[in-house]
Amino acid sequence: MKTSDTLISTLREVPAEAVIASHQLMLRAGFIRKLGNGLYTYLPIGLRALRKVEQIIREEMDAIGALEFKPTVVVPGELWRESGRWETMGDAMLRITNRAGQELVVSPTAEEAFTALIRDELSSYRQLPIVAYQINTKYRDEIRPRYGVMRGREFMMKDAYSFSADQQSLDEIYGRFAAAYRRIFKRCGLTVIPVRADTGAMGGTGSEEFMVESEIGDNTLILCPSCGYAANDEKASCAPDTPLAADGGAQKPTDKPYEPMDTPDVKTIEELSSFLQTSPQSFIKTLIYKVYNSELDLTNAPGCAALTRVTETGGAAPYYPESFFAVCIRGDLDVNETKLAAALKASAVELASDYDVERITTAPVGFAGPVSLANAPVLADRTVFDMHDAVTGGLAKDVHFVHVEPGRDFTPFITADVRTVRAGDRCPNCGASFYSRKGNELGHIFKLGYKYTKAMHVYYLDENGKQQIPIMGCYGIGVDRSLASIIEEHHDENGIIWPMSVAPYQVCIVPVKYEGAMKETACSLYTALQNSHVEVLLDDRAERPGVKFKDMDLLGIPIRITVGEKHLPNVEIKLRSQKEPQLVPAEQAVQTVLALIAEESARYDAV
Ligand code: ATP
Ligand code: MG
């Protein structure tokens, strides 16, 4: 490609709206342009890089036997009603109504579309397993799209779905994806940290997220320096630690009955600690949560008699659109809302409003506690059961209960691990002290189970002619986010430094002036490289050499051939990643370039 035949739209200034390197560089290099909030157009050179990433993903999917499909992006809303997600997906899902009044969804993900497809195609166990994928447009109405294509509204995703006869087959396919993902990221030049992940209300049994370390990452990764344990903090657990009493020793059980104590104007844990001269570890902190779409059975739960329970016709589990829980945890710890939502089989949780807190605790905000609480079920974090002689809110203004023994003085409706694990907490496997990092999710694989195949009535006949339901796995990668992350990992102050495997062009030729012998040499190298199937960009613009060098550095083309009068018949060959060029006779340039391409490509070969 000659630069005059494509569109080079580089910017000298850093666009004000871009704060991270990849966003700045993608705009400056003219790879993307913003069309609207969270909506980006790829320009031709940017699109070449995106297609490279896509192609690597496609090759690795094909290599593990996944079959590529091309479903529509717009999907009938009724499929989402069948799965039960019409109600639970929330505002991130873009819904539209066509002229016939039909409800449609612009795919935020495609479990429903693929499950419906397989339902129609599947009849016999002989067809299983089926592993299907697409690389296609997704739309999510992100509240705050940011960092360019890192979190856009419209983006490309590779999403795959597997259908198996049994768990063993699912495990085997999951393993293939786990390996394929490692190869994909290696080939893209991405350093990823695979971590255990939350499976949320999905009820999955295995899940791994592929993270890149990033200061602007939305995820907190909990990492063990010793045994390699790595988990998203939405999932991380830690070894139990002994709660301490005020004297620094272990807490001891008490025989004293619990009793109210006046605590005038004392509300926060800090105020209470100094008032009672004890440690925050002696308090049972109680938070009232509003819980959405819980699939727990709350028939016999305190305060839940009047709740509405919805049973969908589709076969999805019955759920409570809204319920309230009192969540108890040791005073020095925090509740992780993702772990909490998973424990409650809920789609989301949020702290209840003051109004609801006062209604449920029959007291002003600040005096919630689990003892004799009648208006909401109690969820106790595991840490609570290691506590003794504890203090809790007394369900009345300015009152706390002291000498509270968990188990004796209250019985939770449910006990679960909902604490936020932090750096410094101990690894459950080896006891070493965790450290943490911010991370961005590039891919996610998980064993989904029967959620969709059950709800949407997918059946096949087994060897004995008996009707069975297949088990699913699902596997996603964000293509644009991966591309942006490659730039995050491979750039310097002058621009992008593409790994050879994903570079929009492998080589650029920059004649110092596009005239005379320089032009002649540049053009013959251009033709020769094209004949050798090298992806080459020839800068034939009438710009000053400095401008052309700057642009090619910004674009990040891995190999540059400079053709200058003073060196002819030699040309300069330079790697974008290195400072010094080598001088090579023009007639050997193709050979040198081919060797460099092979060498550079090999760095990103997956083993
Ligand atoms: P996040 O937590 O970042 O919102 P997610 O868990 O909702 O992501 P998945 O549903 O697992 O994402 O989607 C699979 C992949 O799609 C993600 O790993 C990510 O790479 C990509 N992705 C998700 N949302 C976006 C977005 N708004 N912009 C770009 N890529 C996205
Ligand atoms: Mg995810």
Residue 293 DSSP SS3: strand
Q: Which of 441, 477, 447 is nearest to 206 (CA)?
A: 447
Instruction: Reply yes or no on whether the pLDDT at 98 is more than 60.
Output: yes
The rounded percent of the chain whose pLDDT value lies above 90 is: 86
Give tens-digit pLDDT for 448-471: 999 899 999 999 999 999 999 999
- pLDDT confidence of 198, banded at 50, 70, 90? low
Residue 204 CA to ligand 2 centre (angstroms): 13
pLDDT at 272: 83
Vertex 149 angle, CA 144 and 150, to 5°: 70
- pLDDT confidence of 314, banded at 50, 70, 90? low
Instruction: Reply yes or no on whether the pLDDT at 311 is more than 90.
Output: no
Residue 478 CA to ligand 2 centre (angstroms): 10
DSSP assigned state of 475? E
pLDDT at 228: 85
Q: Which residues contact 209 (CB under 8 A, 6 or more apart)?
A: 194, 195, 196, 197, 219, 232, 441, 443, 444
pLDDT at 313: 57
List the alpha helices (DSSP H) in 470-571: 479-489, 516-531, 545-555
* Shortest-distance Cα residue to atom 24 of ligand 1: 151
Q: What are phi and psi of 464, to 5 degrees?
A: -95, 10
Q: What are phi and psi of 11, to 5 degrees?
A: -120, 135
CA distances from 68 to 2, 118, 134, 401, 541 (A): 34, 13, 5, 62, 41
Long-range contacts of 39-48 (CB under 8 A, 24+ apart): 39/152, 39/153, 39/154, 40/148, 40/149, 40/152, 40/154, 40/480, 43/7, 43/9, 44/6, 44/7, 45/6, 45/7, 45/8, 45/504, 45/505, 45/555, 46/504, 48/504, 48/505
β pairing state of 259-262 and 230-232: unpaired
Instruction: Reply yes or no on whether the pLDDT at 175 is more than 90.
Output: yes
pLDDT at 312: 67
**How much is the CA Rg of the chain, to the nearest whole Å?**
30
Residue with more model confidence, 243 or 575: 575
- First vs last Cα of the chain: how many Å apart? 32
Average pLDDT, the chain: 94
Residue with more model confidence, 233 or 22: 22
Give tens-digit pLDDT for 335-367: 999 999 999 999 899 999 999 999 999 999 999
Give tens-digit pLDDT for 541-565: 999 999 999 999 999 999 999 999 9
pLDDT at 315: 53
pLDDT at 11: 94
Residue with more model confidence, 272 or 375: 375
Instruction: Reply yes or no on whether the pLDDT at 202 is more than 60.
Output: no
Ligand (nearest to CA of 53): 1
Instruction: Reply yes or no on whether the pLDDT at 288 is more than 80.
Output: yes
Locate 43 and state its tokens. Answer: 């320009």
Stretch among 123-137, 252-266, 529-543 having the lowest mean pLDDT: 252-266
pLDDT at 201: 40
- In 110-205, at which residue ranges do the beta strands (DSSP E only) sit? 130-139, 154-164, 193-196
Decide: 140 in ligand 1 pocket, CB within 6 A. yes
pLDDT at 526: 98
Stretch among 270-284, 505-519, 541-555 having the lowest mean pLDDT: 270-284
Residue 444 CA to ligand 2 centre (angstroms): 5
Burial class (CB in 10 A: 0-12, 13-18, 19+), 213: middle
Residue 440 CA to ligand 1 centre (angstroms): 9
Burial class (CB in 10 A: 0-12, 13-18, 19+), 143: exposed
The rounded percent of the chain whose pLDDT value lies above 70 is: 98
Distance CA 405, CA 415 (A): 15
Ligand (nearest to CA of 140): 1
pLDDT at 200: 45
The mean pLDDT of 69-98, rounded to a whole number, is 94
Distance CA 183, CA 430 (A): 29
- pLDDT confidence of 267, banded at 50, 70, 90? confident
Decide: 478 in ligand 1 pocket, CB within 6 A. yes
The mean pLDDT of 466-493, rounded to a whole number, is 97
Q: What are phi and psi of 212, to 5 degrees?
A: -110, 140
* Shortest-distance Cα residue to atom 5 of ligand 1: 441
Q: Which residues contact 236 (CB under 8 A, 6 or more apart)?
A: 196, 222, 421, 434
Residue whose entry in the numeric block shows the structure tokens 């003219």: 30
Distance CA 234, CA 319 (A): 23
Residue 605 CA to ligand 2 centre (angstroms): 27
CB count within 10 Å of CB 53 equals 27
Helix axes 167-187, 44-63, angle to 10 degrees: 140
To test the pocket of ligand 1, the residue of 32, 93, 208, 444 to mutate (highest count of ligand atoms within 8 Å of its CB) is 444
* Shortest-distance Cα residue to atom 11 of ligand 1: 444
pLDDT at 316: 62
Decide: 152 in ligand 1 pocket, CB within 6 A. yes
pTM of the model: 0.87
Stretch among 269-278, 287-296, 585-594 having the lowest mean pLDDT: 269-278
- pLDDT confidence of 246, banded at 50, 70, 90? confident
Sign of the alpha-carbon torsion through 98, 100, 105, 110 = negative
Decide: 141 in ligand 1 pocket, CB within 6 A. no
Decide: 138 in ligand 1 pocket, CB within 6 A. no
Ligand (nearest to CA of 138): 1
CA distances from 365 to 243, 412, 480 (A): 26, 21, 45
